[in-house]
Structure 1
Amino acid sequence: MGMKQKTIVLNGIDLTIQQVRQIAREQTYIEICPDALSKVKAARKIVDDMLQDDKTIYGLNRGVGGNKDIAIPKHKLPEFNLNLLLSHAVATGDPMSVEDVRAMMTVRLNSWLLGYTGIHPEIVLLLKDFINFGIHPIIPAQGSVGVSDLAFLAHLGLALLGHGDVLFQGVTLKAIVAIHKAGLQVATLCPKDGLSIVSANSYSSGKGAILLADIIDFLDTADMIYSLSLEGFHANMNTLDRSLEKTKSFPGQHLSIENVRSYLRGSYLWNTDKLKAIQDPLSFRSACHIHGSVRDAVMSVVEYLHIQLQSSDDNPVVMIEEKRIQGSANFEVTNWVLGFEMIGIAFSHLSKSSCFRSIKLGMPSFTKLTRFLSPKDSIYHGFGTIQKTFSSLDAEIRHLANPISSDYISIAADMEDHATNAPYVIQKTTKMLDNLYKILAIEALHAAQAIDLRNGIRLGVGTQKIYEIIRSEVPFLDRDRNLSIDIHKIYNLLKSGQLKAEFENKQQEQRSSFPLYQRQKGEEFINEVY
């Protein structure tokens, strides 16, 4: 195994959402901090000592869930730990993506390094090797109710033992074969290791970390496309007046306003024009405020998920300094799951706003341009039928925005009567984000077409770049054509991050100048978020 250029050291206490995404998506090499590994060993010693003292401890010498009252004889402990993984490996559905599996493995490994779990150090090191060698268990993505992702992590645990299938170097292999090909040895389960593997929300928090990082990138892209639409619409710039900042100090909206102002620097829109409407429709007037609402929601969730990534979900928890093992309810993640539900509702507002801008860009009564932005008022239909596409995508978003975290039933012999559906909350929010990229792609097509129909207007220094990149992928609509191809090209362009990369340095400067964010959350935290 060759050392990769990028290396991230895990220590349990400072993993960021950006690092989770980097390890998951870029397959970055990881190392373990020696001090953190020492905590793992110290916690393991306490588990072994407790076992020798015959103290009654959940998941160590007693069953789990509805079987909490069943004593496990010492000679049955190896079988019990294996059975725990086998009985909990109940996930179903399509397999997780490789990046989701890597995120889950990374987050679980990081939480072990806190020293609260008591897992055997050899399993910790083996999971690190799984990440570095690219041994990715094939795990179905349905079956967790979000009070620890027990089913998913059980499949991971079995893979560490050499059971099941994995993806290794792009090929599906039996786990035992991949482990041996990598020059590794399968794990051996010691007492409590079964529960120590599965007692965490690592899939939900890992995939959630990737999602939050992606949403932050998306919001910058949304500001860009909105800026282009303003020029295509011949919009009134009143709501972008910097003097308004002191009248309402929500930080998200001001960050979006500053983004848009920077993209539109030098635009014809800043010129006094008596032909402009006194006020534009709210989808044009209020977009920065709507985008800012999503930003503020994301900031709240990032703060809580950042805590989650440095926390233990374990039940029970090993307390090293006190030399005891304590039952807990740390598997509860309602606080940040509700935050993702909030983001979903905010997404629905952003989606509607974008759709209404596209509709109005195609209305001569607002733009004085051709109907549906057709190349000329004749036999061409232009962007007429495409309205059905973004309407359909928006309907999906509105449906997915309905909260699901409170839809659960009491299970495990009526012992587990609360849940969050955290995995599905993250999955549906991810789907909403993907739909939003398609809706933005359609808005971008409208904006660029309207700009061309205005024939020679002076664009802003930023929007000129945005326009040129879009036009490098899709030409002016000079006659009706298959617009599915155009949507797909711009969708891929937006998701690739190419537009964001064009303005990355400038946006970092703007964020560092925002005292509102820094005062409320701390500069170091904001730099991590953005």
Structure 2
Amino acid sequence: MITLTGNSLTLREMNRILNGNEKVNASEASWERVERSRRAVERIVKEEKVVYGITTGFGKFSDVLINKDDVEDLQLNLIHSHACGVGDPFPEQVSRAMLVLRANALLKGFSGVRKVVIERLLQFVNAGIHPVVPQQGSLGASGDLAPLSHLVLPLLGEGEVFYKGERVESVKAMSKEGIFPITLTAKEGLALINGTQAMTAMGVLSYLEAEKIAYESEMIASLTMEGLNGIIDAFDEDVHLVRGYPEQVAVAKRMREFLNGSKLTTSQGEVRVQDAYSLRCIPQVHGATWQTLNYVKEKLEIEMNAATDNPLIFEGGKKVISGGNFHGQPIALAMDFMGIAVAELANISERRIERLVNPHLNDLPPFLSAEPGLQSGAMIMQYCAASLVSENKTLAHPASVDSIPSSANQEDHVSMGTIGARHAYQIVSNTRKVLAIEAICAMQAVELRGKEKMAPKTRGVLEAGRKVVPFIDKDRVFSKDIEKAAEWLKDNFPVESLKFNEEDETIKGGI
């Protein structure tokens, strides 16, 4: 059970909630803050004070005063009118993350909602009721209005949810779990949708998967090093210490450990003096991606515990301020940055694939074919990798550099952070497939070299991989192999093989 406090949620805990289906509750201290904040809202309504979103309309309608008898209609109308999302739904894990993150933000006690609203969010998480939320339609300010409106609809007994592997009407799932719809009152609709939880949820899932493939990319690159008789000297610790980047040093260290005991790697001058950059510069390139992932992790963990709605209530209602914490710029930039960094893992991986299959660049059978000429071997696998890398280059164009004014120019600068998060996730998915192709080619190469000469760690990965993708002794429909290998990397890769030092913080991550 993960206890939400509004202030301490971590990516490690989110990994347990999303991938381990761990349940959640709230701390007693957070409930006390929620109650104090709610009392402040009720006083504002009773005294008919002019406060944005409580006794006024929204956006350009902020100057329109609302009668206190109409506050419930105001909140319901807000959800209905803002539920304008289109396109395919977010992955179910993202919907689950959105529920958790929205509850955690409200538990900070600056939003003025009733306890029952947050309880419903937590009940949905614990019952595995995940709203169907369309991916498209958010500008990333004022928060993720459209996606979060679709998240809220099932709380009201409307909309659809994913429940026990099916897509059903929300009332059907709620009825089976004994959960009743709620009616929103003053401030609650606005508090639920005015935030960055869609982009952050998408970002959390993207980061967790990106972190995993970043580790996996190093082990796969190690297999390639053996398949190409790569020069181990380039990973010598002294080389990387004098550069000074801790992440680069850590990648080189892991590569040395993965390849320790290998009789397939070489020393400089033994076969060649230098390797190509895609081999020699693995620590420098992969290390730079790790620098980016560390930056993204920091920003996500701040945003996961942030109050992002508007207005915010301070000092028991004595101070109610309309600000801009819903603006997604910090996450927008982080998502764009992560997309670029992960795309580079695919970029350099594809170059290693080319070196594995191109007979002009190695002494292996052309395209790793069993019968070169009669059979094409891995020739078109490299094409597929190149296509995915090229697609990543278009997806990596920063979403955050664009802004289109909305709400009659009241909201005249927006982040497009949700687009950036969606693109980052697609880049992660594409990169995993490129790495799957490299793994297939590298396994073929090391077996042709002699698997008995492999390092113990890489040999273990080869044996696990061969249960997924068999040796290529003749041409077959390789699409199936690529998909199986990608699924292996996503769900079943032997992550224990990536750990060589439990005290090394760079290894712990989300694994």
> Percent identity between the aligned chains?
30
Partner of 2:193: 198
CA gap 1:139/1:335 in 2 versus in 1, 3 angstroms: closer
- CA-to-aligned-CA distance 1:35-86 (integer Å, 9 cap, x gap): 1011000000111112222221000001110111100011111111111111
The alpha carbon displacement at 1:185 in A equals: 2.3
CA contact (8 A) 2:37 2:316 kept: no
Partner of 1:466: 461
Partner of 1:293: 288
CA contact (8 A) 1:313 1:331 kept: yes
Partner of 1:149: 144
The alpha carbon displacement at 1:272 in A equals: 4.5
Give the secondary structure class of the aligned counterpart of 2:63.
Answer: coil
Partner of 2:402: 407
The alpha carbon displacement at 1:446 in A equals: 1.3
Partner of 2:62: 68
Name the amino acid aligned to 1:122: V
The alpha carbon displacement at 1:21 in A equals: 3.0
CA gap 1:76/1:256 in 2 versus in 1, 3 angstroms: same
Residues 1:238 and 2:216 are matched in the alignment: no
Distance 1:64 1:155 in 2: 18
- Which deviates more, 484-493 or 280-289? 484-493
- CA-to-aligned-CA distance 1:256-312 (integer Å, 9 cap, x gap): 111111110101146557542101111111122111111100101111111111110
- Which deviates more, 435-444 or 482-491? 482-491
Partner of 2:37: 43
CA contact (8 A) 2:94 2:202 kept: yes
CA RMSD of aligned residues (A): 1.9
CA gap 1:194/1:143 in 2 versus in 1, 3 angstroms: same
Residues 1:80 and 2:74 are matched in the alignment: yes
Distance 1:253 1:19 in 2: 27
Q: Specify every segment of 5 or more residues in structure 2 that has no aligned partner in the other structure, as ranges.
A: none
TM-score normalised per structure 2: 0.95
Give the secondary structure class of the aligned counterpart of 1:68.
Answer: helix
Partner of 2:309: 314
Q: 1:388 aligns with which of 383, 386, 407?
A: 383
CA contact (8 A) 1:347 1:397 kept: no
- CA-to-aligned-CA distance 1:461-514 (integer Å, 9 cap, x gap): 21111111122222222222221122122111111142223334x2533337xx
- CA-to-aligned-CA distance 1:169-219 (integer Å, 9 cap, x gap): 334433233323322222121111111111111111112112112211111
Partner of 2:129: 135
Residues 1:208 and 2:190 are matched in the alignment: no
- CA-to-aligned-CA distance 1:359-413 (integer Å, 9 cap, x gap): 1112333321221122254523221222211111111111111111122211101
Give the secondary structure class of the aligned counterpart of 2:162.
Answer: strand
The alpha carbon displacement at 1:344 in A equals: 1.7
Q: 1:11 aligns with which of 2, 5, 25?
A: 5
CA gap 1:272/1:353 in 2 versus in 1, 3 angstroms: closer
The alpha carbon displacement at 1:349 in A equals: 2.3
Give the secondary structure class of the aligned counterpart of 2:3.
Answer: strand
Residues 1:97 and 2:91 are matched in the alignment: yes
Distance 1:406 1:274 in 2: 47
Partner of 1:279: 274
Distance 2:34 2:472 in 1: 62
CA gap 1:371/1:317 in 2 versus in 1, 3 angstroms: same
The alpha carbon displacement at 1:153 in A equals: 1.4
Once the two structures are superposed, the pairs formed by residues 367-382 of structure 1 within 5 Å of their partners are 367-377=362-372, 379-382=374-377
Once the two structures are superposed, the pairs formed by residues 403-442 of structure 1 within 5 Å of their partners are 403-442=398-437
CA gap 1:261/1:43 in 2 versus in 1, 3 angstroms: same
Name the amino acid aligned to 1:287: I
Give the secondary structure class of the aligned counterpart of 1:419.
Answer: coil
Distance 2:509 2:435 in 1: 26
Distance 2:309 2:323 in 1: 7
Distance 2:314 2:187 in 1: 15
Once the two structures are superposed, the pairs formed by residues 27-38 of structure 1 within 5 Å of their partners are 27-38=21-32
Name the amino acid aligned to 1:131: V
Q: Specify every segment of 5 or more residues in structure 1 that has no aligned partner in the other structure, as ranges.
A: 1-6, 513-525
CA contact (8 A) 2:230 2:265 kept: no
Distance 2:359 2:5 in 1: 59
Q: Give the length in aligned residue pairs.
A: 510
- Which deviates more, 33-42 or 321-330? 321-330
CA gap 1:528/1:467 in 2 versus in 1, 3 angstroms: closer
Name the amino acid aligned to 1:479: K
Distance 1:497 1:508 in 2: 20
- Which deviates more, 347-356 or 378-387? 378-387
Distance 1:69 1:407 in 2: 28
CA gap 1:329/1:454 in 2 versus in 1, 3 angstroms: same
Partner of 1:516: none
Distance 2:417 2:145 in 1: 12
CA contact (8 A) 2:41 2:317 kept: no
Partner of 2:221: 226
Partner of 1:501: 496
Partner of 1:52: 46
Name the amino acid aligned to 1:38: E
CA contact (8 A) 2:159 2:170 kept: yes
Distance 2:267 2:295 in 1: 39
Partner of 1:347: 342
CA contact (8 A) 1:46 1:320 kept: no
Distance 2:219 2:398 in 1: 29
CA contact (8 A) 1:221 1:499 kept: no
CA contact (8 A) 1:12 1:36 kept: yes
Name the amino acid aligned to 2:409: D
Give the secondary structure class of the aligned counterpart of 1:62.
Answer: coil
Distance 2:374 2:250 in 1: 43
Partner of 2:245: 250
Distance 1:223 1:528 in 2: 15
CA contact (8 A) 1:116 1:320 kept: no
CA contact (8 A) 1:258 1:510 kept: no
